[in-house]
Chain A
Amino acid sequence: MVSSIQGDGDIDSRSDADIIKSVLAGETADFEEIIRRYQPRIFGTIRKYARRESEVDDIAQEVFIKAFRKLHTWRAEAPFEHWIMRLSVRTCYDFLRKHQRNRENAFTDLSDPEKDWLQDFVKAPDDNHSEKQGAGDLVHTLMEQMSPAGKLILQLQEIEQKSVKEIADITGWSISLVKVRAFRARNEMRKHLEKIDLTQYL
C-alpha cells in the first residue's frame, strides 16, 4: 500500500483496495488519490518507451483513463501496483505499434558525444565506458530503431532483467512467443549495431 499527501496536506492512509472499492461505489473523486500514488512510476515506465516528452503525457493520461474504465476487472488477489504497471506497459506497446514510423538512417547522423564515445570504445573495447556520456544517447538511438516488440523485449529482458515468465505476465504473450520475440529482438539489435562502421572511429 502506498499513501500520499493530498492537496490540502492530509495523508490518505487508506489501502488501494479501499480506495478502489469507494471509486467503484460511485466516489469518482477518490480516483485522484490512485493517480497521485502511481503517477511517478507510470511516468518513469512510459519514458522508457516513448520517443518524445510530448508523447509521455498523452500515454500517461491514456493509462489512467483505461485504468478507471477497467477498474472493475482488478482482482484484489494481486497488488494493484502490478495491475496498473502491466496496463501501462501494454498501453506503451499499443502506442508504439500505432505510431510506427520510418526507422532508417539513425546511425548515419550521430551526435558528437555519441561519436566521441564510439572513438573511446574502439580505442579500448575492454575498458568500461558504460558510464560515460554518449553511451546513453547511443542506447536511445538504438532503441529508436527497434521494432515495437523488439524494443519492449529489449527493455524488459536485457535492461530490466526480467524473466521470460514475468515478461509473459506483463505483456500477455505466451512463454513461447516471448522466447521467439526475445530471440528476434537480439538479432534485430545485432543487425542495427552492425550498421555502425566501427573502423571509421579507429
Chain B
Amino acid sequence: MEQKMSLEKLQNQLIQSARRAPVNDRVPLGFEKRVMNRLYGEKGYGNRLSQMARGMWAACAPAIVLAVVAFFLSQPANQSIPADLALENAVMSPLMAENEIW
C-alpha cells in the first residue's frame, strides 16, 4: 500500500517536472536552405525526367509516322498475307534480328 502511494507520488512529481521543462526550439543554422535545396533537387530531377521524356517522344514520333507510311506505300495491291500480320512482321523484324545478334 505504501509502495503504491510512493509510486503515485513519484509519477506525479515526474509529470510535474516534465510540464515545467522548457521547450528547446533551437533551429540549426541554415536549416530552411537545406530543406529548400532538397525540394529544388526533387523538383529539378522531376522536371529533367519529364523534359527528357518529351524530347525523346518528339524525336520518335515523326520516325514512327514515316515508318508506317513507308510500310503501307511499299505493300503490293494484292497481298497474300493479312495486313496486320505484315505490320507485325515489319515492326518485329529489327528486334528479331537484334536477338539473333545477341
B52 at the interface (CB under 8 A from A): no
A115–B42 Cα distance when bound, in Å, is: 49
Residues of A within 8 A of B24 (CB): 43-44, 47
**Interface flags, B17-44, vs A, CB<8A=1, else 0:** 1111101111110011111101110110
Q: Mark B50-82, 1 if CB is under 8 A from A, else 0.
A: 000000000000000000000000000000000
- A125 and B11 within 8 A (CB): no
- In angstroms, Cα B22 to Cα A48, docked, is 11
Q: When the two chains form their complex, are residues B15 and A158 in contact, meaning their CB atoms are under 8 A apart?
A: yes
Q: Please name all residues of chain B whose beta carbon is closer than 8 Å to the beta carbon of A68 when the two chains form the complex.
A: 39
Query: What does the 1/0 interface line of A44-70 toward B look like (CB < 8 Å)?
Result: 100110000000010011001100100
**Contact of A61 with B35 in the complex, beta carbons under 8 Å:** yes
How far does the alpha carbon of A43 sit from the alpha carbon of B32 in the complex, in Å?
A: 12
A83: interface (CB < 8 Å): no
User: Does A100 sit within 8 A of B, measured CB to CB?
Assistant: no
Q: How far is the CA of A68 from the CA of B35 in the complex (A)?
A: 10
Q: Is the interface of B mostly helix, strand, loop or mixed?
A: helix
Does A60 lie within 8 Å of B38, measured CB to CB? no
Task: Answer whether residue B9 sits at the interface, using C-beta atoms and an 8 A cutoff.
Answer: yes
Is A40 touching B6 in the complex (CB atoms < 8 A)?
Answer: no
Partner of B31, one of A29, A35, A189, A198: A35
Q: Which of A65, A159, A189 is close to B35, meaning CB atoms less than 8 Å apart?
A: A65
Residues B34 and A138 in contact, CB atoms below 8 Å apart: no
> Does A36 make an interface contact (CB < 8 A)?
yes
A139 an interface residue at 8 Å Cβ cutoff? yes
**What secondary structure prevails in chain A residues at the interface with B?**
helix
Q: How far is the CB of A127 from chain B (nearest CB, A)?
A: 9
Q: Is A97 in the interface zone, CB < 8 Å from B?
A: no
Query: Bound complex: CA of A77 vs CA of B24, how far in Å?
Result: 30
Q: Please determine whether A28 and B27 come into contact, CB atoms closer than 8 angstroms.
A: no
Say if the beta carbon of A172 comes within 8 Å of chain B.
no
A121 interface hit (Cβ, 8 Å): yes
- Please state if B18 and A194 are interface contacts (CB–CB under 8 Å): no
State the Cβ distance, B46 to closest chain A Cβ, in Å.
12
Whether B7 pairs with A194 at a CB distance below 8 angstroms is: yes
Q: A43-B27, A189-B11, A190-B7 are in contact. Are A130 and B38 (CB under 8 A)?
A: no
B6 touches A35 (CB 8 A): no
- B contacts, CB < 8 Å to A: 3, 5-7, 9-11, 13-21, 23-28, 31-36, 38-40, 42-43
Q: What are 10 sample pairs from A and B whose C-beta atoms fall under 8 A apart?
A: A39-B27, A57-B28, A65-B42, A129-B13, A131-B17, A131-B20, A139-B21, A142-B14, A159-B15, A161-B19
Which residues of A line the B interface, CB within 8 A?
A: 28-29, 31-32, 35-36, 39-41, 43-44, 47-48, 57, 60-61, 64-65, 68, 121-122, 125-126, 128-131, 135-136, 138-139, 142, 158-159, 161, 189-190, 193-194, 196, 198
